[in-house]
Amino acid sequence: MSSNETNRDIGHSPSTTNYWNPYLCGVLIGLVLIASYTVLGTGVGASAGPARLGAQIERWIAPTHTAATEYFAGWGEHPLAYYLVFMLVGTFVGGLVSALLAGRVECGVVERGKAFGAVPRLMFAGGGGLIVGFASRLARGCTSGQALSGGALLLTGSLIFVACLFAGGYASAFLFRRQWND
């Protein structure tokens, strides 16, 4: 950690640890899932947001090409007109409200261990994001839309997804441990 960086720059401020009981947060998320299934008839979801934004951007840049690609073409001419896009906006807003109330908004933080640089950390974040974006399409959802939402209905595919998610994570965790070294 270079001399002009503070604990704040790497997300180590004291206010960051004043969280609610994780079990009760989990129950709260479970209640949100129940509410979503009883009102919307679907679970929650997040990965559709960036994916559909990607489809819209590709449409703006190369409309004919995008219309000829089977996957994005299936989302129609207005991929952003979709309930999960609005849900992700809501997730951002809800997170913002909570973070503001708890005094946890700290702009410009690149969260990492003290002994790790900001640039390599952002490269890990980007590399992982690419893989997650791809894997979420393949699995038809992410931790929210597939693991939690499908798991809530005990869908076998979703349960397989969760098990493999943790297997993949634990199997490769040693490769990325240094970014959290203090």
Partner 1 sequence: MIETFYGRNALDTPVAFFAALLMGAAFGFALERAGFGSSRRLAGVFYFKDMSVVKVMFSAMLTAILGLALLTAMGWIPAGNLNLMETVYGAHAVGGLLFGLGFVMSGWCPGTAAVGLASGKWDALVFLVATMLGAIAFNELYEWIKPLYNWGLQSEPQFAFGIPTHLFAFGFALVGVVAFYFSEWIEKQVGGEGPYLQSGFLKAYSVAVVAIAATLFVFPGDSDTSYTVARPVLSDARFSSDTVLSAVASGADHIEPEVLADQLVKGDSDVVLVDIRNELEFKRFHIRGAIHVPLVDVIARLESYRDAREIVLYSNGMTHPAQARDQLAMRGFTNVYMLTDGLQGFLDRCLRPVSLFNEPLAPERVHQIATWRSYFLSDTNRPPDAVGPPDAVGPPDAVGPSSR
Candidate residues 53, 114, 115, 117; the one interacting with partner 1 per rule CB under 8 A? 53
Q: Is the dihedral of CA 121, 131, 49, 155 positive or negative?
A: negative
> Applying CB under 8 A, does 62 fall inside the site for partner 1?
no
* Distance (Å, whole) CA 33 – CA 41: 10
* Residue among 3 and 108 whose Cβ is closer to partner 1: 108
Q: Which is nearer to partner 1, 3 or 154 (CB)?
A: 154
Q: φ and ψ at 44, to 5 degrees?
A: -95, 170
Residue number, 115 or 167, with CB nearest to partner 1? 167
Binding string to partner 1 for residues 87 to 126, with x set by CB under 8 A, is what? Answer: xxxxxxxxxxxxx--x-xxxxxxxxxx----x--xx-xxx
CB of 5 to partner 1, least distance (A): 13
Among 101, 112, 106, 98, which residue's Cα sits nearest to residue 13? 106
Based on the shown chain and the rule CB under 8 A, indicate whether residue 161 belongs to the binding site for partner 1.
yes
Site for partner 1 contains 140 (CB under 8 A): yes
Residues between 23 and 52 that touch partner 1 (CB under 8 A): 23-44, 46-47, 49-51
- Residue 146 vs residues 9, 166, 178: alpha-carbon distances, Å: 33, 14, 29
| Cβ neighbours around 87 below 10 Å, total | 21
Residue 59 as a binder of partner 1 (CB under 8 A): the answer is no
What tokens appear for 68 in the block?
């000829």
141 vs 130: CA distance, rounded Å: 14
Candidates 4, 21, 63, 178; binder of partner 1 (CB under 8 A) is 21
